[in-house]
């Protein structure tokens, strides 16, 4: 009888272990299924967000949607780069640049920039100095960063200039260059005598282009 009792009890014990194992498997499968459901919900939520940001994506599948998003991001990066061109402010250099442009329609223009420490009287000096050169202002931009300021101008001459006459074009370039250099001298002198505990150590950089450049 004792042996029979052991034989009878053995299958019961095995059954209990099998039952526990099955419960664990069921629980694991349920947990995995729930995790997969949440993952799909997150993905669909992100895809819906992308669809709301990109136009005309109602009928796109996931691959097409992601490709369109990548294209849009690249275009935004390109636009941002183009918008920032020319607006970088040198922090270690006082800079003067004068470039001459000969457009396809025969227009002669000057692209001028001055970057230096800001002074309250700077804008008045610029207006007076450039006004004496008899130029038409086509475009003017001002950008600042801390106590640094960058002025960018596009000018055309009020006088008729033959763009084939390199000497006349260069004479105007030199005049603008000399005028801005004089303003930069005042800025540098003002900075030297300003009441600061630490004097600025800005390097001076003046550049202009002798060769003509065309623009569309």
Is residue 36's pLDDT more than 90? Answer: yes
Task: Compute the distance between CA of residue 177 and CA of residue 208 in angstroms, rounded to an integer.
Answer: 7
At 157, list the tokens. 């001459």
Is residue 205's pLDDT more than 60? Answer: no
Report yes or no: 155 and 176 within 8 Å, Cβ to Cβ.
yes
Residues 127-139 have a mean pLDDT of 85
- pLDDT averaged over every residue in the chain: 75
Which pLDDT value is given to residue 155? 87
Parallel, antiparallel, or unpaired for β 213-215 and 148-157? unpaired
**What are 157-197's pLDDT values in tens digits?**
777 766 667 787 888 888 888 988 888 887 766 655 555 44
Report yes or no: 155 and 105 within 8 Å, Cβ to Cβ.
no
Which pLDDT value is given to residue 182? 87
Residues 10-35 have a mean pLDDT of 71
The alpha helices in 111-165, defined as continuous H runs, are 122-131
Q: Which residues of 46-62 are buried (b: 16+ CB within 10 A; e: fewer)?
A: ebeebbeeeeebeebee
**What are 75-107's pLDDT values in tens digits?**
888 877 766 655 566 666 788 889 888 777 777
Report yes or no: 89 and 145 within 8 Å, Cβ to Cβ.
yes
At 212, list the tokens. 């003509």
């Amino acid at each position: 009888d004792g042996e029979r009792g052991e034989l009878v009890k053995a299958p019961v014990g095995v059954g209990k272990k099998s039952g526990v194992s099955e419960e664990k498997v069921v629980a694991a499968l349920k947990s995995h299924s729930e995790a997969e459901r949440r993952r799909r919900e997150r993905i669909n939520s992100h895809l819906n967000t992308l669809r709301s940001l990109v136009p005309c994506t109602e009928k796109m599948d996931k691959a097409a949607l992601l490709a369109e998003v990548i294209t849009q991001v690249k275009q935004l990066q390109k636009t941002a780069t183009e918008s920032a061109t020319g607006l970088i402010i040198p922090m270690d250099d006082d800079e003067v640049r004068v470039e001459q442009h000969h457009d396809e329609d025969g227009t002669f223009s000057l692209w001028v920039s001055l970057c230096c420490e800001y002074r309250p009287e700077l804008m008045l000096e610029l207006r007076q100095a450039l006004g004496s050169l008899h130029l038409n202002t086509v475009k003017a931009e001002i950008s600042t960063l801390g106590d640094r300021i960058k002025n960018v101008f596009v000018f055309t001459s009020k006088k008729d200039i033959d763009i084939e006459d390199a000497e006349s074009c260069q004479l105007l370039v030199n005049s603008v260059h000399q005028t801005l250099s004089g303003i930069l001298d005042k800025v540098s002198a003002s900075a030297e005598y300003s009441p600061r505990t630490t004097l600025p150590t800005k390097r001076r950089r003046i550049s202009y282009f002798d060769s003509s450049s065309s623009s569309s």
